Structure 1
Amino acid sequence: MGRRLATLSLLVALLVLGLKLLAYRLTGSVALLSDALESTVNVAAALLALTALRIAEKPPDQNHPFGHTKAEYFSAVAEGVLVVLAALLIAKEALPRLLQPLPLEGLGPGMGLNLLATGLNALLALLLIGKGKALRSPALTADGYHVLSDVFTSLGVLLGVGLAWATGRWWLDPLLALLVAGHILLIGLRLVRQSVGGLMDEGLGPEELSRIQEVLKAHLAQGALEVHDLKTRRAGPKAFLEFHLVVPGRMSVEEAHRLCDRLEEELKKAVPGLSVTVHVEPESERQG
């Protein structure tokens, strides 16, 4: 599923890029050129996402016993950096035109092509974000937000070009391009921040931790005495949890094993994709 979506993203990105370049050739609009430049980044980002997903789907091996899922974070970081670069490229193209505005021609057909490309991107972005979150895939989710940033860019560009066309104030064309560049710059920085957190083994979010704590609290009333040294991290669609479980000294190994099995089963229901490691200790190790 993930690779099929990444392939679809690449094909749509190529189609959208062609439409936007044609729109620029018809109009000469710096805003439409900036929009096309942002779409070239979408093509590169889709290729990165597809490559990362192929690596991430590889099963664990001797050198990577925990799997290859972190490969998706490298793609997501790269996409965030590309979004930032796209914003800077747009600013570079728009600033000179802001100082020396030029009238535009052929805006009707050009804006129509750009609007068609924007509609395709909007549908793709919603699909990638929804499926990316459902599959817990940072590469697909990042690609979806990247495409969504292109939608915002295009809408801002169309608004600016339309206002410039209606009023004859051609400086609105580069001005709107600059404003949208600022918006997608923030999106790119956010993507980089989230993806670097995954590479640095950032812990699970408050909602997932709350569900884990609820399960652990329930099992403390079923024979366990204490839980301590709890640690979590995420690697793409997988999440990892480890902790020390203190049980009564009189509890047999078999009883402790059954308790851990029940606990692991409930934890995996609470957080799908969770891998659990439990270190059982006697009550002499109790810290509370």
Structure 2
Amino acid sequence: METSDRVKRLALWGIPLSLGVMGLKLVAWWVTGSVALLSDGMESSVNVVAAIVAFAAVSYAARPADKTHPFGHHKAEYLSAVLEGVLIVVAALLIVAEAVPTVLAPVPMEAPALGLVINFAAGAINAAWAYVLIRAGRRYRSPALSADGQHILSDVVTSVGVLVGLVLALATGYAVLDPLLAVLVALNILYQGWKVIAHSVDGLMDHAVEPDEAEAIKAAIAAHGAGSLGVHDLKTRRAGAATFVDFHLVVPARMPVGEAHEICDRLEDAIRAVQPGAQIAIHVEPETEKAHGERVRVAPATEAAP
């Protein structure tokens, strides 16, 4: 199964799972009347919308390049993540609007034990799913899955905080702790939403690959560029699951085109060995051209890797 198919399948599974978790949390609120549990359930409702958006985004991002999008549709996942961040912020504001009036007139919970057990079960499901999504997001370089996993993980942290807070409220008899806890939940959600938006916008700005990945690319060029005189103006960028590598390859002025092409093929294979699926653009130029940008020295032919 191709990577894009695995990502789409995971995104699709997120829809029924998020619906189930939301249902459990709303049942927990219904049997208790707790504003904190309601706030937790409202955050899960955002998870449902986010799961649907994530599935649509990864499906669109998997479409092959075409005439109007020659570099592919990878950035659609970043747009999904930005939208999810906005939804998180909206959910936080709705929670505040619900909780603040209750601070002035707190209401005791009903059937608290049953509600807490139900909410704990929902949190356990979310924790397992968040782990799966975050791991898959890193493995397949999917911003949409990563953002969804991070959001669900924040939901898990929220659920744990709500459970601990409500136990304290029951133990102390201070019903006002319930709405106050809901406000704290909203503040945490706002912070998580900001992180998701900031990370996604950064991705839309053509962020370079991570430093360790850049070093691996340079090492591959240095080891397999024998026959050339060096590389300069090396640039990288990441767009969703796709990696783009661009550089200028300097060759002797009298080198035949065929030999220069062989070096390019060798370099492309070496780079894709450390960056699978990378899209590479190499500009071949004679030694008389003035070098600029970042330079990479290559090993002499006798030292080059096979």
TM over 0.5: yes
**Would you say 1:6 and 2:11 are equivalent positions?**
yes
- Out of 91, 95, 102, the position equivalent to 2:100 is 95
- Out of 120, 123, 127, the position equivalent to 2:128 is 123
Question: What pairs up with 1:13-162 in 2 under 5 angstroms?
Answer: 13-162=18-167
- Out of 242, 246, 262, the position equivalent to 2:266 is 262
Question: What amino acid maps onto 2:168 in structure 1?
Answer: L
Q: Provide the residue aligned with 1:249 in structure 2.
A: 253
2:130 and 2:149 in contact (8 A); partners too: yes
Distance 1:265 1:190 in 2: 36
Q: Provide the residue aligned with 2:3 in structure 1.
A: none
CA drift of 1:151 comes to 0.8
Map Cα deviations across residues 166-191 of structure 1 (whole Å, 9 max, x no partner). 11012222222222322222221111
Q: Provide the residue aligned with 1:224 in structure 2.
A: 228
Distance 1:96 1:225 in 2: 72
1:77 and 1:196 in contact (8 A); partners too: yes
Distance 2:187 2:223 in 1: 48
CA drift of 1:214 comes to 1.9
CA root-mean-square deviation: 1.5
CA drift of 1:280 comes to 0.4
Secondary structure, counterpart of 1:105 in structure 2: coil
CA drift of 1:229 comes to 2.1
Distance 1:90 1:30 in 2: 9
Distance 1:239 1:137 in 2: 12
- Pick which of 82-91 and 123-132 moved more: 82-91
Q: Provide the residue aligned with 2:242 in structure 1.
A: 238
Question: What amino acid maps onto 2:78 in structure 1?
Answer: Y
Distance 1:143 1:168 in 2: 36
Distance 1:7 1:162 in 2: 35
- Pick which of 202-211 and 106-115 moved more: 202-211
2:224 and 2:270 in contact (8 A); partners too: no
Q: Provide the residue aligned with 1:163 in structure 2.
A: 168
Secondary structure, counterpart of 1:62 in structure 2: coil
1:156 and 1:177 in contact (8 A); partners too: no
CA drift of 1:12 comes to 0.7
Map Cα deviations across residues 99-125 of structure 1 (whole Å, 9 max, x no partner). 332211110111111111111111111
1:24 and 1:33 in contact (8 A); partners too: yes
CA drift of 1:42 comes to 0.4
Question: What amino acid maps onto 1:282 in structure 2?
Answer: P
- Pick which of 209-218 and 54-63 moved more: 209-218
Distance 1:214 1:177 in 2: 51
Question: What amino acid maps onto 2:158 in structure 1?
Answer: T
Normalising by structure 1, report the TM-score. 0.95
State, as a whole percentage, how many aligned pairs show the same letter: 54
Map Cα deviations across residues 55-110 of structure 1 (whole Å, 9 max, x no partner). 11111222112211111111111111112222222222222222332211110111
1:237 and 1:273 in contact (8 A); partners too: no
Question: What amino acid maps onto 2:160 in structure 1?
Answer: L
1:56 and 1:68 in contact (8 A); partners too: yes
Q: Provide the residue aligned with 1:210 in structure 2.
A: 215
Secondary structure, counterpart of 2:237 in structure 1: strand
Normalising by structure 2, report the TM-score. 0.89
Map Cα deviations across residues 203-260 of structure 1 (whole Å, 9 max, x no partner). 222222121222223345x222232222222111111111111111232211111111
Distance 1:187 1:227 in 2: 41
Distance 2:221 2:196 in 1: 32
1:153 and 1:181 in contact (8 A); partners too: no
CA drift of 1:127 comes to 0.6
